[in-house]
Amino acid sequence: MSFNYTNIDDHKNWNEIYSWIFDKIISNKKINNITEFYEEINNIVIHDKVLWDKYYHSNLADINYSDVNLQNAYMLRYCPIYLDTFSGIVKSLNYLNCPNVNEAEIIKIALCCGGPASEMVGIIREFAKRKNFGGVIFNKIHFDIYDINDWSYSRSIFKEMGLLTSAAELKNLNLEITYKDITLNFLDLKKVKEAFLNKKNYNFIIFQNALNEIIAQKNKENVNSLNVNQFLISSIVQEPIKSLSKNGYLIFFDRSNKNNSYEEVGLFFNLLNRSLDDYKIKLLEQDYDERMMIPQSMIPAIIKERYIKNPSSWNRYSYRIFQNL
């Protein structure tokens, strides 16, 4: 890294994730001085407005997430509050039947529509606190990360962050972390079947903040909502759960607030809940949660002063935990 930004006035207050992201941006853009740094911040602000407008107007089907500039904007606005979503349901999981860890003592996790996969950091931190899971001592966590877009640029940040910020705990537990990036369009049912055909013993299949965008993409085909949801149940439930371990979890997180959520996501789950027996899964828990993830004082002023809409400190989401029978 050729430029040091640590003399910026409020840098000492930043949450660590912003330093990780800015280090990547500076390296990728080959930024050499403060002028170039602020020029890139202004570029990010432009792309953040594009992203925000598309989300606000529910124009989700036309976002090019492979654009590195959009990824920078996405990471700075959303990843800080998405990082630790998984930890919010760990208490619930502690009271539920744990999935079997396979004979190789590997915890296998599928992150579907994983994007930058910032949730890996929170998941690694949670498992780095544990010496066993489901009564079995594990020595490895493997992530398969599925997405149609190329997120390798931003995903590399969170792979490294998950390892380095939990390095002492991972070393103490002799715990190995591995990853595999898999390109997959969940609207291509044939490809979904092929992708999960030879996958076995996932302990967790997780869709985080993905359903609303999958539905938006499918709706472009101008089919009625019932047919959309029937297709999606096949694509994101029926086929993936064939690869779940005994008692394995299928988990959905979706952006929400207490009084309002994506209506079409609700319709999808209403249909799924009527079909649980067909797929031999049960709904263990569904709820809404909201947590302050990062105080405004820990968000860089260079972002807050320029964004048309301040990055939120809060992660507000609904979640549903299904279990394989």
CA atoms within 13 A on the CB side of 216: 15
**pLDDT tens-place string over residues 177-189:** 999 999 999 999 9
Q: Which is it for the CA torsion 48, 180, 143, 112, positive or negative?
A: positive
d(C-alpha 84, C-alpha 94), whole Å: 17
Helix (H) or strand (E) holding 281: strand 281-292
Per-residue pLDDT band for 253 (boundaries 50, 70, 90) equals very high
Residues 6 or more apart whose Cβ sits within 8 Å of residue 94: none
Find out whether 135 and 98 touch, Cβ atoms under 8 Å: yes
Find out whether 81 and 293 touch, Cβ atoms under 8 Å: yes
Q: Is the pLDDT of residue 246 over 90?
A: no
Per-residue confidence (pLDDT) for residue 94, from 0 to 100: 59
* Inter-helix orientation angle 16-29/152-164, to 10°: 140
Cα torsion 210, 214, 217, 222 to 10°: value is -140
| Residue 164, both tokens | 């380095």
Give the DSSP letter string of 220-265. Answer: TT---HHHHHHHHHIIIIITGGGGEEEEEEEEEEEEEETTEE-HHH
Share of the chain above pLDDT 70, in %: 90
At 257, give phi and psi (nearest 5°): -140, 175
* Domain 82-300+314-324 grouped into CATH 3.40.50.150: yes
Mean pLDDT of 278-301: 92
At 293, give phi and psi (nearest 5°): -95, -40
Region of poorest pLDDT, from 83-92, 110-119, 197-206, 248-257: 83-92
Residue appearing with tokens 């949660």? 289
Find out whether 77 and 172 touch, Cβ atoms under 8 Å: no
Per-residue confidence (pLDDT) for residue 58, from 0 to 100: 72
The amino acid sitting at 278 is D
Q: Is the pLDDT of residue 1 over 80?
A: no
* Inter-helix orientation angle 263-273/211-219, to 10°: 100
**pLDDT tens-place string over residues 115-159:** 999 999 999 988 888 767 666 678 889 999 999 999 999 999 999
Full-model pTM: 0.92
d(C-alpha 215, C-alpha 263), whole Å: 11
**pLDDT tens-place string over residues 71-120:** 999 999 999 999 988 888 876 665 455 555 555 588 899 999 999 999 99
Give domain limits for the chain. 11-78, 82-300+314-324
289 CA to centre of own chain: 16
**Considering the chain, what is the average pLDDT of its residues?**
87
| Residue 300, both tokens | 């860089």
Per-residue pLDDT band for 70 (boundaries 50, 70, 90) equals very high
Per-residue pLDDT band for 223 (boundaries 50, 70, 90) equals low
Q: Is the pLDDT of residue 257 over 70?
A: no
Q: Is the pLDDT of residue 59 over 90?
A: no
Does 5 or 100 have the greater pLDDT score? 5
Per-residue confidence (pLDDT) for residue 99, from 0 to 100: 58
Q: Which is it for the CA torsion 123, 129, 133, 136, positive or negative?
A: positive
Per-residue pLDDT band for 263 (boundaries 50, 70, 90) equals confident
Mean pLDDT of 35-58: 90
